[in-house]
Amino acid sequence: MVHAHADEDVPDIPVVCPDCDTRTKVPIPEVENAVARQNEQLHDGEAVAAVDVNGRSVIVG
Ligand SMILES: [Zn+2]
C-alpha cells in the first residue's frame, strides 16, 4: 500500500481580500488567524478579507 496523498491531510484554503487584490493559500488551522490579521492590520478590523470556498467568499472570525 502506498499513500500517495499523505501530505494532503491538511488542505490549504484560499484567503482572498478584494481590497488588497490578494489571494493567499493557508493551511486550515491558520485560516482564521490569517483573515483576522489581514483585517486588523490593513482594514482597521473591518471584515474585508474572506475565505474562498468553492468560489464563494465566506467571512470568518
Ligand atoms: Zn486586505
Decide if 39 contacts 47 (C-beta within 8 A): yes
pLDDT of residue 6: 58
Residue 7 Cα to ligand 1 midpoint, Å, equals: 29
Neighbours of ion ligand 1 (CB under 5 A): 17, 19-20, 38, 42
Joined grid coordinates for residue 16: 482572498
Rounded to the nearest 5 percent, the helix, strand and coil shares of the chain are 30, 30, 40
Region at 10 (left for phi over 0; alpha for psi -120 to 50; beta for the rest): beta
Q: Answer for the pair 12, 27: CB distance below 8 angstroms, yes or no.
A: yes
The count of residues in the chain is 61
Q: What is the pLDDT of residue 33?
A: 94
The predicted structure's pLDDT at residue 9 = 72
pLDDT one-digit tens code per residue, 6-58 = 566 778 999 999 999 999 999 988 999 999 999 999 999 999 999 988 888 87
- On whether the pTM is more than 0.85, the answer is no
Q: What's the confidence (pLDDT) of residue 20?
A: 95
